[in-house]
Structure 1
Amino acid sequence: VKRAFRIATTGRPGPVVLNVPLDVFLRSAEYGDDDFLCSPEFGRYPALRVRAEAKEAQIVLDALHKARKPVIWCGGGVIASGASAEVEAFAELTGIPVATTYMGKGAIAETHPLSLGPAGQLGRPVTNQYLADVDFVLAIGSRFTNVDTANWTVPKRGVPMIQVDIDPVEIGKNYDVIHSIWSDAKLFLQDLIAAAKETKWDGSRADRAVSDLRKSWLATSGVESPQSSPMKDEPVHPLQAMRALREAMGPDDTLICDSGFNQIWGGQYFEVERKGRYYVGPRGMGTMGFAFPAAIGAKLACPERRFVALAGDGGFMMLLHELETSIRMKTPVVVCVLNNGNLEYCRQAQIGLMGGRLLSTDFTDTNFADIAKAFGAHGVRVTRSAELRDVIREALGAPMTTVVEIVTPQSAKPDGVAF
């Protein structure tokens, strides 16, 4: 068991499967200490951080100085390392903008003037637009999956890249690199900042360009104000739901998304206002049903914080029985269910890939608010966008788990989704 904790918290943090034979569980044993399951050193992650050689920082700085339009690309490794403060500090010092993957959301506050937001197939079009002609990429803690990179077109192949990662297997796996750096993200960025302070930087041009792109996106996407998009009040468009969530939630509240379009709506349009882990999604296996139990676990770990689970009706239906768990364990969280009566991601895939032959994607009308009440939780069904913000605010202050069922139209899909 101790070895499992050691593996889970060192290197690239992650889950560990521990197979224990039944006869072992049936035996009795005595242990002399209180930490027989886990040594204090491995009770949290990241443990045993790896630091690159000092010379590596100067190699990166030299490459950045030669670049005309560099970018910092941050993945989930930045968040796992707790390196968001260092990313923001380095970006401000150099004036180099920051693009992220979904798992990297929060590497820099997305309201920061140097934040490009999420990139890739499911990222913001304006982010991909900016990345189209960058001439150098400093990649930190990113796997460069096909989705994160729009099938390895963002950034373009052939652009000079230096990749920093705690897992050497990931370096150069999906993109050729001109230099590899095996290091914990936080420690390397600390060294990079120290070295960069001895050099002059002029990032005013990039700062203005990024700011203009973000203003353009806010003005045209409809995320900033209802007047900028011709959406109806009823049913609630998912974009209106994202706006209500951002207005109702505080900067320290965390949004935990499920798999499906809900994650894309949240990834593109829910801006993380502070650096750090304030957005979570199942970006590995894309597990449906993830959001609600993940929110329960997060609440158990951090009872002083507030968590909102965002799921579609299909994903929530897979694990809605965890309402009993949440009530029994006294873990008050908010569950926002975007109910469009179907599996819209699958439906769009069937339209695009199967010639419109629809199979097993449409549901009967289910009232999730009533189901929540049957479990002893609070439930509210919202059909009008004007009501949603206040409902979410009230739910965030409730002493029990609240299911906010948001009735949304079919066929609404985020930018960038194409099959």
Structure 2
Amino acid sequence: MYGVNVRKVFHVIIYKIIDKGGKVMTQVSQKNVKEEQKHGGQAIVDVLKKEGVTKVFGVPGESYLNVLDALYEENEIDFISARQEGGASFMAEGYAKSAGEVGVCTATRGPGATNLSIGLHTAQQDSTPLVALIGQVERPYRDREAFQEVDFVSFFRDLCKWTVEIDDADRIPEILHRAFHVARSGRPGPVLVSLPEDMQDDIVTRDTHGPIKLTTVCPDKNAVQEVAKELKNAKKPVIIAGGGVILSQATQELVSLAEAMQIPVATAFRRFHAFPNSHPNYIGALGLGARKALSEYIQDSDLVLALGTKFSQMTTNDYSIINEQNSRLIHVDISSDVLGRVYTPSSPIVSDVKEFLIELLHVIEPEDNSDRQKNVAEANEKYTRFSTPELTDNTEYANMKSVIHYIQNELPKNTVITSDAGNFFSWISRYFRYDEGGTYVGPTSGAMGYGMPSAIGAKVAHPDKTVISISGDGGFMMTPQEFETAVRYDIPIISIVVNNNMYGTIHTHQEAKFPGRVVGTKLTNPNFAEYANNFGGHGERVEKNEDIASAFERAIASEVPALIEVMTDPTILSANQES
């Protein structure tokens, strides 16, 4: 009797026997019930299917068994079972970034949901469309501190774009389709939907809703004309490209604008691939480890065109990147809430970034300005010099410059790199150049433990691409169990663990603020290569530069999830420290 409320079927069968008599009519009546009625769990999965969902990441739990049972019957949706809810939410977030779709994750009530929260916070700060389906205690038991009870609507309100609980099964199609719409529209973000366990048993009698189609947010044409004039008249303009460029797939239009107007382009924190890094107009990435000269260049500009960026604390170097006394700011974003929150723009424009650039390209006149050419060339030359590693031999430790150099030069150009937080990130941000389809997936929230689970999500989205996660030993050990998930589902990622046996970032901060008074940052670790082998993956340990290439070659040839442990010098904690 899959998919049918057994009690209601029983009533219908008895009724038919009394009314008609006869076994055949009873069977037909039961068949009709199955065809016409579905419980809440089925209705939820029906919405997922209509929304085009093909992957769901989660940890199974008793509070949403009806949803899991409906997924069992649905061949078009794969349920990927993680080992911890935080890992599942990172997988869904990494999948959403990579696939350009709404990610979906699930968890049970209470502890499961709170574990999941780290990925929702990441999605909120990264503007990633995500829908989280959370089992909840039965409706009659609410507000009694029932087993694992948490008021999810209030708990997750500050972590999500929208939080909602569905109390009536008939409203599942309406509310859940709306959840997907909210997640993907405007400035995207996470939506949490709470699902009381008993509500999932109820029969859905009404389904009149479907996916909500988005319309494009276009700019005001008069405002675009004014922008064209300002760009033409500016002496030293600069463009800051944020996540909105990536989300709207506007990189090519941005390249055309930069070339036509001879304007240099910097990318916002962890938005590296918004602009091709080898392009002569590229001048570097903002955020942690950014060149001081890059910040100074922007502060000295008389006009800043900011595209799809929220001006985060990291991007702006503690909100100091723009000189409001001397610079005019044109800020373009799909969300009006972002405009004016950090800096007051002289020209605030609410628009999809791609639509804005298309309109702007129609009205600009290409520049032939020797001063602009000189500015662009000088800024690009400084970036190129800064981002080109000088390789050195090291017989005692492996060198991260050599690891990045190998990935850059020997692996496919469309390789996807994921990472979490840590000082190792400075080598990625400084030396890796994103071109020809290469992408970066990382948390602007600085979440540790994100790298490897998000790589699983990215690889699920792009099974044909090489996907590499890079984590420190501290971050990797926050979600190491998800390596087993990769093995179990045959998802062949390559996970690099940069091992210096410490929380390197915090160690650095402590030494800077309280010299000689380091507390709690020393770590001990397992042999990570053996750890990978024990799960059925492929493990390598690299202790010197000359072993890097062969370790990668064996990892790739294994065709299974692989882990490369890189033993680094614990006295060198950042790329800038080597310079």
Q: Same fold by TM (over 0.5)?
A: yes
Structure 2 residue 352 is the aligned partner of structure 1 residue 187: no
Structure 2 residue 415 is the aligned partner of structure 1 residue 253: yes
Q: How far is the alpha carbon of 1:25 from its aligned partner?
A: 2.7
Equivalent residue in structure 2 for 1:279, among 428, 433, 440: 440
* Deviations, residues 140-163 of structure 1 (Å, cap 9, x unaligned): 011111211111222333321010
Equivalent residue in structure 2 for 1:151, among 298, 318, 321: 318
Structure 1 counterpart of 2:222: 55
Structure 1 counterpart of 2:333: 165
Q: 1:185 to 1:328 in 2, by over 3 A?
A: same
1:319 maps to a residue whose letter is T
Structure 1 counterpart of 2:530: 370
Structure 1 counterpart of 2:109: none
Paired with 1:358 and 1:7, the residues of 2 have a C-alpha distance of: 45
> Aligned-residue CA RMSD in angstroms?
2.3
Structure 2 counterpart of 1:340: 500
Structure 1 counterpart of 2:342: 174
Paired with 1:90 and 1:220, the residues of 2 have a C-alpha distance of: 25
Paired with 1:90 and 1:221, the residues of 2 have a C-alpha distance of: 24
* Percent of pairs with identical residues: 31
State how 1:281-300 maps to structure 2 within 5 Å: 281-283=442-444, 285-300=445-460
Structure 2 residue 278 is the aligned partner of structure 1 residue 103: no
Equivalent residue in structure 2 for 1:140, among 307, 319, 339: 307
Contact 1:121 1:151 in 2 (8 A): no
Question: Could you say what secondary structure the match of 2:274 adopts?
Answer: coil
Q: 1:135 to 1:120 in 2, by over 3 A?
A: farther
Equivalent residue in structure 2 for 1:4, among 168, 179, 200: 179
Question: Could you say what secondary structure the match of 2:316 adopts?
Answer: coil
Question: Could you say what secondary structure the match of 1:58 adopts?
Answer: helix
Q: 1:121 to 1:320 in 2, by over 3 A?
A: closer
Question: Could you say what secondary structure the match of 1:16 adopts?
Answer: strand
Contact 1:347 1:358 in 2 (8 A): yes
1:242 maps to a residue whose letter is I
Structure 2 counterpart of 1:404: 564
Equivalent residue in structure 1 for 2:194, among 15, 19, 30: 19
Structure 2 residue 400 is the aligned partner of structure 1 residue 234: no
Paired with 1:277 and 1:76, the residues of 2 have a C-alpha distance of: 15
Contact 2:269 2:288 in 1 (8 A): no
Equivalent residue in structure 2 for 1:387, among 547, 550, 554: 547
Q: Per chain length, whose mean CA-contact separation is higher, i.e. which structure has more relative contact order (CA < 8 Å, sep 6+)?
A: 1
Paired with 1:54 and 1:220, the residues of 2 have a C-alpha distance of: 40
Structure 1 counterpart of 2:461: 301
Q: How far is the alpha carbon of 1:29 from its aligned partner?
A: 5.0
Structure 2 residue 518 is the aligned partner of structure 1 residue 351: no
Q: 1:61 to 1:248 in 2, by over 3 A?
A: same
Structure 2 residue 254 is the aligned partner of structure 1 residue 87: yes
Contact 2:219 2:349 in 1 (8 A): yes
Q: How far is the alpha carbon of 1:406 from its aligned partner?
A: 0.6
1:56 maps to a residue whose letter is A
* Deviations, residues 363-416 of structure 1 (Å, cap 9, x unaligned): 124311110000101010001112213432443454211101111111323367
Q: How far is the alpha carbon of 1:349 from its aligned partner?
A: 1.1
Question: Could you say what secondary structure the match of 2:191 adopts?
Answer: coil
Paired with 1:203 and 1:297, the residues of 2 have a C-alpha distance of: 45
Equivalent residue in structure 2 for 1:319, among 463, 473, 479: 479
Q: 1:415 to 1:208 in 2, by over 3 A?
A: farther
Structure 1 counterpart of 2:521: 361
2:309 maps to a residue whose letter is S
Identify unmatched segments of 5+ residues in structure 1: none
Q: How far is the alpha carbon of 1:298 from its aligned partner?
A: 1.3
* Deviations, residues 110-134 of structure 1 (Å, cap 9, x unaligned): 0000001102443234423432421
2:248 maps to a residue whose letter is S
Contact 1:245 1:389 in 2 (8 A): no
Q: 1:95 to 1:349 in 2, by over 3 A?
A: same
Mean CA deviation greater in 249-258 or 205-214: 205-214
Paired with 1:172 and 1:260, the residues of 2 have a C-alpha distance of: 31
Equivalent residue in structure 2 for 1:202, among 338, 363, 368: 368
1:105 maps to a residue whose letter is F
Paired with 1:231 and 1:206, the residues of 2 have a C-alpha distance of: 40
Structure ID, larger Rg: 2
Contact 2:270 2:287 in 1 (8 A): no
* Deviations, residues 277-307 of structure 1 (Å, cap 9, x unaligned): 6011110x21111011111111112222221
Contact 1:91 1:97 in 2 (8 A): yes
Structure 2 counterpart of 1:263: 425
Q: How many pairs were matched up?
A: 401
Contact 1:249 1:393 in 2 (8 A): no
Question: Could you say what secondary structure the match of 2:272 adopts?
Answer: coil
Contact 1:51 1:187 in 2 (8 A): yes
Structure 2 counterpart of 1:123: 290
2:265 maps to a residue whose letter is V
Q: How far is the alpha carbon of 1:173 from its aligned partner?
A: 1.0
Q: How far is the alpha carbon of 1:271 from its aligned partner?
A: 1.0
